[in-house]
Structure 1
Amino acid sequence: MSSSSQQLPPNVHISRHPCLLAKLSQLRSKTTTSKEVKALINEIALIVGCEALAESVTAIAGPAGETPLGFQYESTTINPTTISLVPILRSGLGMVEALQTLLPEPVPVHHLGLFREPTTLSPVEYYNNLPNHIRSDPSSAAASKLAIILDPVIATGGTCAAAIQTLKEWGAQRILVLSVIGAAPGIVHAASEWPEGTQIWVAGVDETLTDNGMLKPGLGDVGDRLFLTIGK
């Protein structure tokens, strides 16, 4: 881990899973096909999600059950709380299935559409389907207690920070950000948006950005690679 990465805020967690690091190397390659990119994003999200949820949700005893042989057992579930997945369009869609696989029960999936304005690199929201998101009432029953942002790449951090602010205003009590890779300055930016309520889990960190806000060496444009829109 680089010295810059070592100085990341305490609410940022970088995975050291060896399988994940190997998959991240495969994902970086320009020869990796769109089908392989989709599979790798899903597999990396599964590993990062396992690590994040292990620290963020609590297992509790559930109702008594019975096995096919008639033996009684005490079931286990996660602590009752409202959870939602919030993929950032487009590339965040590639991480949804992994989290749905991990969670024991179906949860709502709310979408946020954000893009970076090419000149200023500032985030612009173009889509938001959070229930009752116009109401900035923290007591709103529509807001999930735990909102999980799915954003494969954190570059400047502006888009992620905007998503965190949106969910905070919506009324989410806690936010998890799951990412495949981020630039160190962008991760610091996102982590400082609401540090007391947000934890960021990321598979890898690059130290620098290009002049147009791309990670170096990075992964390229993940959305384009997932949906075969390179050269649009």
Structure 2
Amino acid sequence: MTDAPQVPHLTVVEHPLVQHKLTHMRDVNTSTGKFRQLLREISQLLAYEITRNMDLTSKTIDTPLMEMEAPIIDGKKMALISILRAGNGLLDGVLELVPSARVGFVGLYRDEETLQPVQYYFKVPDGLGDRLVIAVDPMLATGNSSAAAIDLLKGAGATNIRFLCLLAAPEGVARMKEAHPDVPIVTAALDTGLTDKGYIYPGLGDAGDRMFGTK
């Protein structure tokens, strides 16, 4: 029996296609429709990385030429958890890649005065303790909302959790590592830091507003 692969706490996906698409998403002149399309595309590339170490088993199948033992994902179907509202942009793309996944939602908004998360919704699949759980949110800024969402998922029984985001700030990564060192993070970029209002810079603005055309 071999040891399980070691998963780093933070993985920045530097694939050229990821970085190319991210540059267009950062551009203030990119339209709402194009932004949504790019987010869906980039989420699939990031999903490839975050699912890299999924457990496999095998099953007997018949190819057109012969019978064989072929690899297949082991265990219960994974759970994708969208941290509302911006998480839905990543969710859509990952679901295209893994259409059988179960889906849940965590509703949190950030109090603009305290920068602390406020919960307003929580609905997740059952059996989280037996599933790979991937929480998705485009921006890991202060890390307060992300850490709170992971608290809720662990409270619902999840033990194998990964976090997928588009951009991360060092402050958010540090907050998540402090609160949940067992939760690996996959992102397209680790940006410079946070503004005094808690926005990632250079960033791309408010992901939800750019995705849905709101302000």
TM over 0.5: yes
- 2:49 paired residue number: 51
1:185–1:207: 8 Å Cα contact kept in structure 2? no
Q: Tell me the amino acid that sits aligned with residue 15 of structure 2.
A: H
Deviations 1:103-127 (A, max 9, x none): 3x61211011111001000001111
- Which amino acid counterpart does residue 195 of structure 1 have in structure 2? P
Instruction: Tell me which residue corresponds to 1:16.
Output: 14
Match of 2:191 in 1: 206
> Does the CA contact (< 8 Å) of 1:151 and 1:180 recur in 2?
yes
Structure-1-length-normalised TM-score: 0.84
Which residue is equivalent to 1:80? 75
Q: Which amino acid in the other structure matches residue 120 of structure 1?
A: T
User: Deviation at 1:33?
Assistant: 0.6
Percentage of pairs with the same residue: 33
Question: Aligned in 2, Cα 1:65/1:171: closer, same or farther, shift over 3 Å?
Answer: same
Aligned positions, number? 209
- Residues 170, 192 of structure 2: 8 Å contact kept: yes
The verdict on how the C-alpha distance between 1:15 and 1:131 changes in structure 2, with shifts beyond 3 A counting, is closer
Do the aligned partners of 1:84 and 1:144 also contact (CA within 8 Å) in 2?
no
- Structure 2 counterpart of 1:112, which letter? V
Match of 1:97 among 81, 92, 100: 92
Aligned 8 A contact 2:140 2:167 in 1: yes
Q: Is the 8 A contact 1:155 1:183 kept in 2?
A: yes
- SS of residue paired to 2:198: coil
TM-score (norm 2): 0.90
| Alignment pair present for 1:175 and 2:172 | no
Q: Say if 1:191 and 1:82 are closer, same or farther in 2 by CA, change over 3 A.
A: farther
Query: CA–CA distance in 2 between the matches of 1:29 and 1:12?
Result: 25
Q: Secondary structure at the match of 2:52?
A: helix
Aligned partners of 2:36 and 2:59: how far apart in 1? 35
Instruction: Determine helix, strand or coil for the equivalent of 2:142.
Output: coil
**How far is 1:66 from its partner?**
4.0
Structure 2 Cα separation of the partners of residues 220 and 27 of structure 1: 10
Displacement of 1:74? 3.6
**Corresponding letter in the other structure for 1:95:** L
The amino acid of 2:161's aligned partner reads I
Query: Which of these residues, 56, 60, 72, is aligned with residue 57 of structure 2?
Result: 60
C-alpha contact 1:177 1:201 (8 A) present in aligned 2 = yes
Q: 2:31 aligns with which of 21, 30, 33?
A: 33
5+ long unaligned stretches in structure 2: 1-6
Structure 1: which amino acid aligns with 2:121?
A: Y
Tell me the CA shift for residue 81 of structure 1: 3.2
Contact kept, 8 Å, 1:131 with 1:143, in 2: the verdict is no
By how many angstroms is 1:102 displaced? Answer: 2.5
Contact kept? 1:156, 1:183, Cα under 8 Å: yes
Q: Specify the alignment match of 1:191 in structure 2.
A: 177
> Could you list the per-position Cα deviations for residues 74-123 of structure 1 after superposition, in whole angstroms to 9, with x for gaps in the alignment?
443112234100011111111112222323x6121101111100100000
Rounded to whole Å, the distance in 1 between the matches of 2:128 and 2:160 is: 14
Aligned to 1:121: 115
2: CA distance between counterparts of 1:188 and 1:173? 20
Q: How far apart, CA to CA, are the structure 2 residues paired with 1:161 and 1:220?
A: 21
1:164 aligned residue (130, 150, 165): 150
